[in-house]
Structure 1
Amino acid sequence: MYKKILVPMALDHDISQHTLKVARALGGSACDIIALHVYETPQGSASAYLDKTVVNEGFAKARRLLEEKLDDSEGITPEIIKGHTARTIIDYANANEVDCIVIGSHKPGLSDYFLGSTAARVVRHAHCAVHVHRNSQP
């Protein structure tokens, strides 16, 4: 059994409830489960044209959405941080002594046929066990 499981959550996909169930099954009752959403701030020239209050409001909205998604989920700690999705998931897992990541994968493009791009990067670079849950929907 794992002691600390990280479940990355995309707020615009419904796969997260499935990955949370997988995490519970893998960790048992004594496991710490962290539901992590990585908020990607606008990059490059786009960020020069955005007011910081707009970005902060987007971050606050994402935090509310994460908390709403976890309303019925006891024993799960919500976390939201800014960064690049795959790299931030890996860095968070390393910094917080996570021993397993449960990540969803869905609708891959041609270049990421077997796994979604974020899941593929996490699998390749994580220093802990990674369980990938494939969405069964086409």
Structure 2
Amino acid sequence: MYNKIIIASALDQGFAQRAIQTAKILLTDNGKIIALHVVEPVNNVVQSFVSEEAKSQGHKTIQEMMSDRFGDDQHIESVILSGHPGSIIPAHAKMVGADCIIVGSHKPGLEDFFLGSTSSRIVRHASCSVHVLR
């Protein structure tokens, strides 16, 4: 059983409900669940064409999506960070003292064969247990 679990939330994947159910099974009675979404940086060339208003609207949309997925459950805290998920998620887990990360895995494509998927990066870099959902 774990005291603090991070659900690594990719809003474009369908793992949220399974991740919540898994976290609740693995969580101690007084434990805490953190739903974490990481916004990846936009390419510098593209970023020069994106207005501050569009960036703000994008962040607002992500907050609404997180609220739709996790907001009904008072035991889940939603956090949005910026950076590369494969390194930000394990670093945040270490910073908050999480003892488990739950992450979904998708079927890898050719680019994953060469670069490694986010879930495999999290497994390699996490200093705590990682539960991968398939």
Calculate the TM-score normalised by the size of structure 2.
0.90
Structure 1 window deviating more from structure 2 (52-61 vs 39-48): it is: 39-48
Matched, 1:70 2:70: yes
CA shift for structure 1 position 123: 0.3
- Which secondary structure state, in structure 2, belongs to the residue aligned with residue 73 of structure 1? coil
| d(CA) in 2 for partners of 1:85, 1:2 | 22
CA shift for structure 1 position 110: 3.6
Deviations 1:8-50 (A, max 9, x none): 1111111121111111111133210000111123122111121
CA shift for structure 1 position 73: 2.7
Q: CA RMSD in A?
A: 1.6
Matching residue of 2:19: 19
Runs of 4+ residues over 6 Å off in structure 1: none
Report if the CA contact (8 A) 1:7-1:35 is conserved. Answer: yes
Matching residue of 1:47: 47
| d(CA) in 2 for partners of 1:111, 1:61 | 28
Indicate the structure with greater strand content.
2
Matched, 1:3 2:11: no
Task: Report matched runs for 1:1-138 at 5 Å.
Answer: 1-110=1-110, 112=112, 117-134=117-134
Kindly provide the amino acid, as one letter, of the partner of residue 128 in structure 1.
Answer: C
- What are structure 1's unaligned runs of at least 5 residues? none
Kindly provide the amino acid, as one letter, of the partner of residue 46 in structure 1.
Answer: V
Shift in alpha-carbon separation, 1:118–1:72, aligned structure 2, 3 A: same
CA shift for structure 1 position 111: 5.4
- What are structure 2's unaligned runs of at least 5 residues? none
Kindly provide the amino acid, as one letter, of the partner of residue 3 in structure 2.
Answer: K
- Tell me the percent identity: 37
Calculate the TM-score normalised by the size of structure 1.
0.87
| d(CA) in 2 for partners of 1:102, 1:9 | 9
Report if the CA contact (8 A) 1:41-1:55 is conserved. Answer: no
